[in-house]
Structure 1
Amino acid sequence: MELAFTGGVALIVLLGVGGQVLGRAVGVPSIILLLVLGLLVGPVLGWLDPEAILGDNLFPLVTMAVSLLLFEESLKLDLSRLGGGARRPVIGLVTVGALVTGVGGALAAWAVLDLSPARAAVIGAIVIVSGPTVVGPLLAIIRPRQPLESVLAFEGIFIDPIGATVAVAAVNVALHANPPLLGPTGATGVTAGLVGAVLYLLAVRSGWVPAPMQVPLAVAVALVAFAGAEAAFDEAGLFATTAMGVTLANQKVVRIDALHEFGSHVGLLIVGSLFIVLSALVDLDALAHYLPATLLVVALLALVVRPMATWVATTRSVLTGRERAMVAWMAPRGIVAASTASVLSIRFEHSGQPFPELVPVVFGVVLVTAVLYGLTGPPVASALGVRGPEEVALDDEGAPVIDGGSSVADS
């Protein structure tokens, strides 16, 4: 029984929210439950077919939703949290660390899946991204000391648009199209985001925008910045919304408490709905077929690639050996990896060169890394002695809570 449009949308939202509520209630990473629920109502029971419901608008809407998610996440990136030496390892992780991860991931995919170098590079680029939707809740549980907490939180946000852009470039190389350049793509997106942030601040500062309209205006401006950047370069929109969020998080012109309130509610709605939609699209037989190979790829990523990337990226930083070991053991993949794989898979199909391994392998990596790091992260942090004292509370996204119950990200 396949649901019609209204029933399908209602089911997506219900499961997206319900999965997160249940995850918090039972202490299981919600991403695991969301992926299982999406697989259940999609390929297993056949109740939900997002492509039939949304048609050709499915993947543009997914990309737009991801951009809003990055906007919401980047609103928490108060750069003052990069004090105490956190800036150097973050820069290292999103530059040379990303390069090592991309190359290592490509080599792992090439060796295990017997792919062509060009197709292996696509998977390598996608696994560059982190999983802020997984890392944030884990940080709230682990309560790492500073600067370790900031390093992990900032890496998770900044690395996502970089990995997505590199993945698009890799796909175009594989399809012999003109690859977008990371520099122009990033510059275009950042410029659009900065312009959007400035226009929003000018409007609010002028007094033209009443308080109840400030959140809707911010969302509207973020979407316009996204659309404008995307019109110039694929994936530039992710840079735009990230840049706009970071700019708003670090300005002192207007208060953005209401935007944080938006993020804590609508952001959860977006995350849950995206995971349900994307997992409902997965071919369960393909996922099972590639599972052994996926497990081997994850083993190489977790035991070889991530430690190597961390070692190179954090050399001569303020992080201690134990803190570097914790960074090496914290690399889940999340919604950006899953959505990027789904969108790029369509590119391959439309070009007449299907890439059957892409979606099941990437979704397998997302699921396995969520389970792996979700279950082992807290005990590994305890064993390494990098957890903060109980009284240093963190909010649900991993931001330190200071006096009055507000978080650093809200100040």
Structure 2
Amino acid sequence: MLTLDLALILSGILALGIGAQWLGWYLKQPSILFLLLIGIIIGPILGLFNPDEALGDLLFPFISLGVAVILFEGSLTLEFHEVKSHGRVVQMLVSVGVLITIIIVSVAAYFLFDMDPKIAILFGALVCVTGPTVIVPILRSLRPNKNISNILRWEGIIIDPIGAIAVVLVYEYIISGGSGDHALLVFGKILLVSILIGLIGAYILAQLFKRHLIPEYLRNVFALAYVLLLFSISNHIEHESGLLTVTILGVALANWPKFEKEDLLDFKESLSLLLISVLFIVLAARLNLDSLMSIGIPSLILLAVVMFVARPISVWTSSIGSRLKFNEKLMISWIGPRGIVAAAISSLFAIKLAEYNLAGTEYLVPLVFVVIIGTVLIQSLTAKPIGNLLKVRETSDNGVLIIGSNPVALKVAQSLKDSGFDVIMAHNNYTNISRARMEGIKTYFGNPVSDHADRHLDLVGFGHLFAMSMDRELNTLCEINYRHAFGKKNIYRLRYNDDKFKNERQDRNEYWQSPWLFGESINYGKLASMIANNAKIKITNITDNYSYEQYRADNKNYVALYMIDKSGSLKIFCSETGENIPRGTKIISLVIEPEDKKKVPNEKPSKTGQKKLKALAEKEKKIDD
């Protein structure tokens, strides 16, 4: 009966955790907020779940192994060349900015709660880290300009593993004794054991993968077992060195030449998502509300120091000599939510440090939770109004994600880029994607609906999707996959020559049908034929003296692509576009001018054109390895 009850409890927690992840996705808010709130509700508030009683002796190993996997997965994303490639401000934020935050927060915690200096420094290290899981949802809601979104996004990605390393190093120093020759000797042994096992372990795993001694279907689970085994061996050799070992292992593999880590990252991200969903509810359920209430006003003062003192000083110092404007610095200073690393590691360390009797250890978990919930909740709710006040928000999500890399897609992408809109072309044809990249267009080479795309496609500020690939199944998958992110009305599909108008079956599944891009009568063949006949991109202003009706009368061979309204927002011509185009609108069209006009078939190009189109279609369908 006990086993059945425990199974029911664990499966219920897993269901709640995945439900919280879905709620975060659906509401476009950081999921960590819902995970922690659910844990607090079913734990200390309602008393439905007591992790210590339910899990017993399994609680500590579960938390330890879970944190080990999370740290390894995070450190596996730290590529040193990426730190250098994202600008001086990002480099400063993840180095000097981290030190400034740790110092200021540590001093504040020391004086407000009479903490042991070592515990205060550990707390400062814990709350210096933001993270992509909490930053990206806020950015998608805020829609800041490019300067702000790029800095905040890449800071969150890079600082996650760097902050984890800082936290683990401080922790290892504390458990070594913290002072004196003996303590330094113990700390040195921990570092030596961790570095040796981590680097040797990385070399062995890299060689096993490189020499294909591990079959493809075993690689992910083999790596998981390997990481947990090294974690346990390191702890056995030198007490509490395992976390640093797996962190070093991850960083080494992330920077190992030609190490194929993408499939490993996909698996580890799925596993981390599962662990986080359960772990955070368990950790929040262990929270003592009495201890949380007892820190009351001082905890709010500390939260204010984190948000209004440490963060602004860190940002202002890191942006010295940059081209950031005053209002952009203010916006970056305001956005700094704390996330996964702080919540996961603080609870584990609080358990482990309890035996050391250091003043302030009991404050670690409640203070970290106050900072996480406070920063995420306050900044999520206020990001939009503050962005409007500082005038750093984009008027709308004007960016366009184009699925496909054929000549028609390239022509449309060039036009959008020339009009000042962000464009990304995503496809798995290397030759065509390379051609687009040489034209100065942002590209993504790979499957646009893969886990890899989720990690690498920066879609902050993007609000439209053009499904233009000649692979119809890929178009459909992308339409479904991005429907929630962009909204049904902002996803468009280009019609091809053999596409039929909506039939009876399509009418029954109208929810999944996207508007026809550029109009129901426009197809790929017509556009490609026009391009082959030297069609040009033409910009026309609709004014009081020149109406849309006159424009249509003056241009016989044209296709209206999109328009830009008075506010600078992008509007797409599609099968649902009406005839009323307001004055003050700019229309961008593909037009064959009278002097270059040739006979352009409505559906079929010339014989020469047909051969060219057939060759292009075959080339696009061929995927380069």
TM-score (norm 2): 0.56
**Helix, strand or coil for the counterpart of 1:402?**
strand
Aligned identity (percent) is 30
Aligned residues: 404
Say whether the 8 Å CA contact 1:70–1:238 is kept in structure 2: yes
Shift of 1:270: 1.3
> Are 2:351 and 1:305 equivalent residues in the alignment?
no
Q: Structure 2 matches for 1:382-397, cutoff 5 A?
A: 383=390, 385=392, 390-391=399-400
Could you tell me which runs of 5 or more consecutive residues in structure 1 were left unpaired when the two chains were aligned: 395-399
Alpha carbons of structure 1 residues 175 and 324: separation in structure 2 relative to 1, 3 Å: same
Given that residues 165 and 236 in structure 1 are in contact (C-alpha distance below 8 angstroms), is that contact kept between their aligned partners in structure 2? no
Q: Displacement of 1:135 after TM fit?
A: 3.1
Letter in 1 for 2:7: T
1:170-181 residue pairs with structure 2 within 5 A?
A: 170=174, 178=183
CA displacement, residues 244-294 of structure 1 (integer Å, 9 cap, x when unaligned): 334444445353332232134222111111110100100122223323322
Shift of 1:32: 1.3
Measured against aligned partners, the alpha-carbon deviations of 1:366-385 in whole angstroms (never above 9, x if no partner) come to 21122123334466567463
CA–CA separation in structure 2 for the residues paired with 1:194 and 1:375: 43
- Partner SS for 2:183: coil
Letter paired with 1:402: Y
1:22 alignment partner AA: L
Partner of 2:60: 59
Within a 5 Å distance, the mapping from 1:251-270 to structure 2 comes to 251=256, 253-270=258-275
> How far, CA to CA, are the matches of 1:381 and 1:234 in structure 2?
48
CA distance in 2, matches of 1:58, 1:48: 13
Partner of 1:364: 370
- Structure with higher Rg: it is 2
Q: Offset at 1:200?
A: 1.9
Equivalence for 2:444: 402
User: Which residue is equivalent to 2:225?
Assistant: 220
Equivalent residue number for residue 45 of structure 2: 44
Counterpart position of 1:17: 18
Tell whether 2:214 aligns with 1:209: yes
Which residue number corresponds to residue 81 of structure 1?
82
**What residue number does 1:397 align with?**
none
**1:108 Cα deviation after fit:** 1.6
Among 274, 279, 287, the alignment partner of 1:282 is 287
Query: Deviation at 1:409?
Result: 5.3
**Structure 1 CA distance for aligned equivalents of residues 31 and 242 of structure 2:** 27
> 1:407 aligns to what SS in structure 2?
helix
1 CA distance for matches of 2:142 and 2:247? Answer: 25
2:371 counterpart of 1:329: no
Q: Check whether the contact 1:22–1:30 (CA below 8 A) recurs between aligned residues.
A: yes
**After the TM superposition, which residues 179-190 of structure 1 pair with which residues of structure 2 at under 5 Å, given as runs?**
188-190=193-195
Structure 1 residue 113 and structure 2 residue 113: aligned?
yes
Classify 1:347/1:246 alpha carbon distance in 2 versus 1 (closer, same or farther; 3 Å).
Answer: closer
Deviation readout 1:283-326 (Å, 9 max, x if unpaired): 12222332332221111111101222233344446766666545
Q: Which has the higher contact order (CA 8 A, sep 6+)?
A: 1
Q: 212-221 vs 173-182, which deviates more?
A: 173-182
CA contact (8 A) 1:84 1:147 kept: no
Alpha-carbon deviation of 1:94?
4.2
**Alpha-carbon distance in structure 2 between the residues aligned to 1:181 and 1:103:** 25
Q: Which amino acid is 2:168 matched to?
A: A
* Residue identity opposite 2:155 in structure 1: V
Q: Does 1:150 align with 2:154?
A: yes
**Rounded Cα–Cα distance in structure 2 between residues aligned with 1:61 and 1:175:** 31
TM-aligned CA distance change 1:180 to 1:53, over 3 Å: farther
Could you say if the C-alpha distance between residues 241 and 310 of structure 1 is closer, same or farther in structure 2, counting changes exceeding 3 Å? farther
The CA distance in 1 between the partners of 2:239 and 2:393, in whole Å, is 39
Contact 2:28 2:137 in 1 (8 A): no
One-letter code aligned to 1:169 = Y
Separation in 2, partners of 1:30, 1:115:
31
What CA distance in whole angstroms lies between the structure 2 residues aligned with 1:277 and 1:13? 10
Q: CA deviation at 1:202?
A: 1.4
Q: CA deviation at 1:390?
A: 2.7
Higher strand share: 2
Deviation at 1:40, TM superposition (A): 1.4
Amino acid at match of 1:166: V
In structure 2, the gaps of 5 or more residues are: 401-421, 425-441, 458-625
The question of whether the paired residues in 2 share the 8 Å contact of 1:65 and 1:270 is answered with yes
Q: Is 1:163 equivalent to 2:176 in the alignment? A: no
More helix by share: 1
